[in-house]
Chains A and B, each alone.
Chain A
Amino acid sequence: MDLGPHADFILASYAVYAVVLAALAAWLLYDGVHQKRLLDVLEARGATRRSRAGRAEKNTKP
């Protein structure tokens, strides 16, 4: 396909677009994995939210 005399501008536009959107998607995916891993580590340590811990405590009381 012949993009004419302004091919560089057209290709540069699409390249920048692809890089920025790919970087944004990669950052969101990485952040999701990172937060999930942190949550798993905390839960494995037995950490629970105050509201949940409070409910659990109440349920175990005689």
Chain B
Amino acid sequence: MTNQSITQKLANPTRFMSLSGAILPWLAGLAVAVIVFGLYRGWTAPPDYQQGETIRIMYIHVPAAWLGMMGYALVAFSSFGLLVFRHPLADVSAKAAAPIGAAFTLLALITGSLWGKPMWGTYWVWDARLTSVLMLFFLYLGLMALRSSIEEETLAAKLTAVLALVGVIILPFIKISVEGLSIPWLGLEIPAWNTLHQPSSVFRSDGPKIHPSQLYPLLYCALGFTLLFFALHMKGMRNEILRRRVKALRIAEVDRARAAEAAAPAE
């Protein structure tokens, strides 16, 4: 099967509804099972030698932070699909992903604060990592507010897509804020900002810095919450397709009523 035929198949909302209707219960069930397993492994893992029991927060905070960023990448990718390829489901995908990404970003901020108080002695500092993730959350809110403020659906979709693509710069900024960026062959050297937030412990060029007894539960939790994200996203897309069908039927009904009124003989 070629890529084009997969794209064409999924471009049909009716086919998407039928396919997603069959997949969704299994995806949601698998997500819950993997999350339960991951959390069980996390809660039975040994406490950290520095953080103690507070490491349990990491098993939900880190996946939330990853998914907050992945959600925005999905919104931006879908927006690109709308503006460049005019894929019929691209805007449906972007619209459905925004509230889910916002929820995970909010969870990353809250659980990060609740971890920060006992570990750093403060709930919040205005450093580059925390502030850039807060900006990501506001960007999500901005996308949703912009869309809901414009009644004309096509215009709202296009303007929201443009804002989503402009805002994608936040993603490398979040990453660079703690670790900096060095690309010697480009002569690019961006130093890390002064921050309380620790650099990445999992995705590193020299391998993960976490002990396997804590790394595997974290990866199971990340996988489980990622599956949950896609299950929620699929449900959101199905709802949006139904909402658009309802709107189309209402418009058609009004048009027919007007046409009938115009055709009726004047009394």
Contact = CB atoms under 8 A, between A and B. Distances in A.
Given A9-B118, A39-B242, A42-B246, A28 B235 contact: yes
Interface residues of A, number: 34
Contacts, number: 97
Interface in A9-37: 9-10, 12-14, 16-17, 20-21, 24-25, 28-29, 31-32, 35-36
Contacts of B255: 50
B8 interface: no
Given A6-B118, A9-B115, A47 B249 contact: yes
Contacts of B53: 2-4, 6-7, 10
A39 B52 contact: no
A55 interface: no
Most buried by A among B100, B245, B246: B246
Contact of A17 (B60, B99, B232): B60
A53 B54 CA distance: 61
A58 interface: no
Nearest to B110: A16
Nearest to A17: B60
B133 to A, nearest CB: 16
Contact of B235 (A29, A38, A53): A29
A45 B110 CA distance: 47
B228 interface: yes
Contact of B103 (A1, A7, A20, A31): A20
B114 interface: yes
Nearest to B96: A28
A39 B245 contact: yes
A47 B252 contact: yes
Contact of A35 (B60, B246, B252): B246
A4 B52 contact: yes
A51 B26 CA distance: 34
B61 A31 contact: no
A31 B236 CA distance: 9
29 contacts: A1-B43, A6-B52, A6-B53, A6-B118, A7-B53, A9-B118, A10-B54, A10-B57, A12-B114, A13-B56, A13-B57, A13-B60, A13-B115, A14-B56, A17-B60, A17-B64, A20-B106, A21-B107, A24-B232, A25-B232, A32-B235, A35-B242, A39-B242, A39-B246, A39-B249, A47-B249, A47-B252, A48-B252, A49-B252
Interface of A: 1-7, 9-10, 12-14, 16-17, 20-21, 24-25, 28-29, 31-32, 35-36, 38-39, 42-43, 45, 47-50, 53
Given A16-B111, A17-B111, A35-B243, 19 more contacts: A1-B43, A3-B56, A6-B52, A6-B118, A7-B53, A9-B114, A10-B57, A13-B61, A13-B114, A20-B107, A24-B99, A24-B232, A28-B232, A32-B238, A32-B239, A39-B245, A48-B249, A49-B248, A50-B248
